[in-house]
Amino acid sequence: MKKIISLLAIMISGLSFAQVTFNPGIRIGANISHFSDGPAHQAWNYTDSNHYYYYGYNTFDVKSKVDLYIGFQGNIRFAKIYALQPELYYSRQGARFESQESSVPSKTVTVSYIGAAMVNKFYFDKFNIHFGPTLELLTDHKNIDFTTEADLGILLGTGYDITKNIGVEARIKKGFVHIYNDHTNVTFQAGVYYTFNMKK
């Protein structure tokens, strides 16, 4: 109990005497994404200009695909140990559908989002852990018919400040909305960020 009280006292002290700063930045990196909340082997349907595959007729393995994200961040540092970081970004996600029938071609499903996140960051020297809610709006999709154009989710990640301006990050982002049948977005992100130092 004494240790808990001491830790709370340190946190309150840090929040009370820190000077609030604001530093904008940019983020860029790779997405490794797939669709979840379904069995490993499940029938899907998708469309293109030449074919329409009915749900339940052909079976596909749903695998991860690699794509990219890029965005802006605004780091509001309230204390040495805490910052609130609003983010705006563009993210290409989706999945790889590997056909189990030799006569049926495999497909790569791509979905593109414009998203926003409100990230809480807790700093431990050069390391940080962060989490927060996300809201993403569908801007484009390929080889799939979606049932919704918005996704709500949450992210959890960690970062490391290599220098005062440059850092690396890794995150897992999980959507809660059933974007297609009973399936949701799951995306692992790995990338870098650059923070611009603003004058006080």
Q: What is the pLDDT of residues 152-191, one digit of tens each?
A: 999 999 999 999 999 999 999 999 998 877 788 999 999 9
User: Which of 145, 63, 67 is closest to 100 using CA atoms?
Assistant: 63
How far is it, in rounded angstroms, from Cα 193 to Cα 200?
21
How far is it, in rounded angstroms, from Cα 81 to Cα 183?
37
Structure tokens at 12: 């309150």
Listed in sequence order, the residues at least 6 apart from 136 whose beta carbon sits closer than 8 Å to its beta carbon are 91, 113, 114, 115, 116, 150, 151, 152, 153, 175, 185
Full pLDDT tens readout for the chain, 200 residues: 665 556 555 555 555 445 899 999 999 999 999 888 554 444 445 444 444 333 444 566 778 999 999 999 999 999 999 999 999 999 999 888 877 777 777 788 889 999 999 999 999 999 999 999 999 999 988 877 666 889 999 999 999 999 999 999 999 999 999 887 778 899 999 999 999 987 65
CB 116 within 8 A of CB 141: no
What count of other Cβ atoms lies within 10 Å of the Cβ of residue 192? Answer: 14
Q: Which amino acid would we find at residue 187?
A: T
Structure tokens at 61: 């393995």
How does pLDDT run across 4-16, given as a tens digit for each residue? 556 555 555 555 4
Structure tokens at 44: 């899907």
At 48 the pLDDT is 45
